[in-house]
Amino acid sequence: MIISGDRSITQDALMARVRRAATGFAALGVGPGDCVALLLRNDFTFLEASLAASTLGGYAVPINWHWKPDEIGYLLRDCEARIVVVHQDLAHLLSDAPDGLVILVVPTPPECVAAYGMPVAGGALPGEDWNAFIDRHAEWDGPPQPARESMIYTSGTTGRPKGVRRQPPTPAQAAATARNRAQIYGLVPGIRSLVPGPMYHSAPNGFGLRAVPLSEVLVLMPRFDPEELLALIERHRITTVFLVPTMMVRLLRLDDEVKRRYDLSSLRHVTHAAAPCPAEVKQAMLDWWGPVIHEFYGATDLGAPTACTPHQWLAKPGTVGTLTEGATVRILDDAGVECPPGTPGEIFARVDYMPDFTYNKRDGERRAVERDGLITVGDVGYFDADGYLFLCDRKRDMVISGGVNIYPAEIEAVMIGIPGVLDCAVFGIPDPEFGEALCAAIRAAPGATEAGIREALKVKLANFKVPRVIEFHDELPRDDSGKLLKRKLRDPHWQGAGRAI
């Protein structure tokens, strides 16, 4: 059973709709290697359209619906999508869509309308109704095609976002992928799973799609809400969840009475990733939920080269684990020399079970991130003497102040534990003497002061790691997955300063 709000559908009924959608997609010219774009909130349709494209050997291409029309238009042209499936309330974002694109419109479900407080959409549809499209096609009975993963567009930290276009797996790679997903996500037959994050992001996307055939119950949250997540875990006896650290921070900020209200004893495998998790946050979650919280390090481009069990983390607080099956990880300095244990460097990795990929129409950029068959996404970290990987920061986020390398993630991990700090981001800004200085953007509770925050930081950090500038914000820019859009905070400081942004 798959559940969203008060609606439900069985896996058999969903897969019948998938096969009908596949027939319709094929009639519109979709075949192996072609793209179907999805501008959708979490909904049954997200699963239907993704699996229908995969049935034909095509790519489902999820779109972040926080993007602006010109960003969405760029993606649609870059992937050469033949079709876009869009929720009715998001259809206005297609104003820059290319000519000839087939638009299939999905009525926005009531749970999404309620979660986002939006008016019920009305008026003429800009394309064919999704349900009518499915109903007028028979179920697909063509030859099976090698299934491709969704083509996820990376966040575009430099220039335009890049689509990670991966080849279909061999049978051996598919089998290894299944073992890896069981280890990392707890995706095994009979689970009762929950997807609280938007499926346009890589990890919720992979988790949700792979959970469909394995789950007794799969619950889709239209929008993350911490208390609602607890209620859903209790109501549906959820065993398996994927979270990001920001979700855990918001869960921990619930009143103790609210935390005690819900029975979470069904949980067996909770996974988090996508951003560094402060050790205090992870420890507090383990104290609350017990030793069920797993972690992995990975990226859309890399797969998951390391994983960490709760017991490994308790033995090595702060680690993101040890190598997964078929993984190679090397820590290299700027000259390409491997760093000794304990010395940070850029992380280069390969996972053998992951089929090779390129960045869509950007083979040169793909080659630029490879060294000796290993790929980097710009993360900095180190191995300890026992082979456990620890992350420092993203290479692009590292601040060089007066010739000293400073990792903002370390400072953020301390800052988020200070009473009164509700959210924070640390980054470099221009400084005439040191080249760069540290700036902290903070969302604070009433009564928190700059002086108090500085004093609390000095207890745990060297003085040169205490931000020179502290800015207070009503909110920090995060997307619905909790990912911090740090560039929006940093770029205004560098406008006209001569640094590429």
User: What's the total number of domains in the chain?
Assistant: 3
DSSP-based helix, strand, coil % in the chain, nearest 5: 35, 25, 40
Residue 314 domain-assigned (yes or no): yes
Residue 215 domain-assigned (yes or no): yes
What is the C-alpha to C-alpha distance for residues 180 and 177, in angstroms, rounded to an integer?
5
* Main-chain dihedrals φ then ψ at residue 338, nearest 5 degrees: -70, 135
* Main-chain dihedrals φ then ψ at residue 22, nearest 5 degrees: -60, -40
Domain's final residue, options 79, 114, 148: 148
- Name the region of 80 (left: φ>0; alpha: ψ -120 to 50; beta: rest): left
Three-point CA angle 269, 263, 241, nearest 5°: 25
272 shares its domain with 387? yes
What is the C-alpha to C-alpha distance for residues 232 and 250, in angstroms, rounded to an integer?
16
194 shares its domain with 227? yes
93 shares its domain with 178? no
N-terminal to C-terminal alpha carbon distance within the chain: 46
- Name the region of 127 (left: φ>0; alpha: ψ -120 to 50; beta: rest): beta
Q: What is the pTM of this model?
A: 0.83
407 shares its domain with 474? yes
Residue 212 domain-assigned (yes or no): yes
87 shares its domain with 58? yes
The per-residue pLDDT string of the chain (501 residues; one tens digit each, 9 = 90 and over) reads 999 999 999 999 999 999 999 999 999 999 999 999 999 999 999 999 999 999 999 999 999 898 888 889 999 999 999 999 999 999 999 999 999 999 999 999 999 999 998 876 666 778 899 999 999 999 999 988 888 999 999 864 445 788 999 999 888 888 888 898 898 999 999 999 999 999 998 889 999 999 999 999 999 999 999 999 999 999 999 999 999 888 898 899 899 999 999 999 999 999 998 777 888 889 999 999 999 999 999 888 888 999 999 999 999 999 999 999 899 999 999 899 999 999 999 999 999 988 889 999 988 888 988 999 999 988 889 999 999 999 887 777 878 786 677 878 888 988 988 999 999 999 988 887 777 889 999 999 999 999 999 999 988 887 888 999 999 999 998 876 677 888 889 888 877 554 433
The predicted pLDDT at position 386 comes to 96
The predicted pLDDT at position 157 comes to 41
Q: Do the Cβ atoms of 405 and 398 come closer than 8 Å? A: yes
Query: Which three-class secondary structure state does DSSP give residue 123?
Result: coil
What is the C-alpha to C-alpha distance for residues 470 and 453, in angstroms, rounded to an integer?
9
Q: What is the CATH number of the domain that holds 302?
A: 3.40.50.12780
What is the C-alpha to C-alpha distance for residues 455 and 475, in angstroms, rounded to an integer?
23
111 shares its domain with 22? yes
284 shares its domain with 182? yes
Cα-based distances in Å from 478 to 48, 285, 289: 28, 22, 26
What tokens appear for 200 in the block?
């346009």
The predicted pLDDT at position 155 comes to 60
Q: What is the CATH number of the domain that holds 125?
A: 3.40.50.980
The DSSP letter of residue 463 is: G
Residue 114 domain-assigned (yes or no): yes
Give residues with Cβ within 8 angstroms of 100, minimum separation 6.
none
Domain's final residue, options 343, 372, 394: 394
198 shares its domain with 285? yes
Task: Determine the distance from the C-alpha atom of residue 192 to the mean position of all C-alpha atoms in its chain, rounded to a whole number.
Answer: 21
* Main-chain dihedrals φ then ψ at residue 89, nearest 5 degrees: -75, -15
Domain's final residue, options 94, 115, 148: 148
Residue 20 domain-assigned (yes or no): yes
409 shares its domain with 366? no
What is the C-alpha to C-alpha distance for residues 313 and 306, in angstroms, rounded to an integer?
12
The domain containing residue 358 runs over which residues? 171-394
Cα-based distances in Å from 77 to 27, 67, 95, 104, 387: 21, 15, 13, 17, 44
β-partners of residue 297 are 306
Residue 422 domain-assigned (yes or no): yes
Residue 133 domain-assigned (yes or no): yes
255 shares its domain with 123? no
What tokens appear for 404 in the block?
């000293």
Q: What is the CATH number of the domain that holds 425?
A: 3.30.300.30
217 shares its domain with 262? yes
Residue 156 domain-assigned (yes or no): no
305 shares its domain with 453? no
